[in-house]
Amino acid sequence: MIWQNFAVQNCPPSIYYLPDFITKEEECAIMQAVDKTPRPRWTQLSNRRLINYGGVPHPKGMIAEDIPVWLHHYVERINQLNVYAEGIKANHVLVNEYLPGQGIMPHLDGPLFFPTITTISCGSHTVLEYYEQTEDASGQDGSGSLVRQHKTSVLLEPRSLLVVKDDMYHKYLHSISEREEDTIDARVANLSLVSNAHAGDVLRRDKRISLTIRHVPKTSKMKIKIF
């Protein structure tokens, strides 16, 4: 599979969207493995819960941990695509669980990671929304305020792979709105690449598991195992 053939054209550089990157059987295996994860491994946030595999990224360096065997296959699938720079391999997986109505605020992934992210979606669709953030200095005292303007949206179907690079990594904030259903409209930039949705569809969310597979450049030589 040549991932460069799946560029999303109607947005700034660069987003690539690959539908049906994994099989239904692989999706089921991922969901089952995540469901079996002991509760202490999860970090519970107000709007979702997550697991770091490979270590916890930190400005001073990530202390490397072994990635579970069941995840190796998907990390290697990403490495075989060569989406990163020459010689760069994924060494971190962030597992997110979103229930209907949950989401994440607009943010940048920042400098802790190599500026390419890959995300495999399982269970449910979601809509990833991108915003351009600028400073409005029109206040009488000369003080500025941050203004966010919607730039584009991307529909992530179950079993799809998303690859984000360039300005779409560095410049545009991304988020998932906290809602239980999504109306597919003309703002969805990858509509021509999706396999099971059309403009005007209303899609109800279910539980979604995402695997965000990345490279953390700064790691500690210390290595520990998590059992």
Q: How far apart are CA 27 and CA 32, in angstroms?
A: 9
Strand partners, 163: 16, 118
Single pTM value for the model: 0.93
Residue 225: pLDDT above 60?
no
Determine which of 54-58, 101-105, 161-165, 223-227 has the lowest per-residue pLDDT on average.
223-227
Query: Per-residue confidence at 222, pLDDT binned at 50, 70, 90?
Result: low
End-to-end CA distance of the chain: 34
Average pLDDT over residues 49-63: 94
Could you tell me the fold of the domain covering 9-136+144-214? Answer: Jelly Rolls (2.60.120)
Average pLDDT over residues 204-219: 97
Residues 6+ apart with CB under 8 A from 138: none
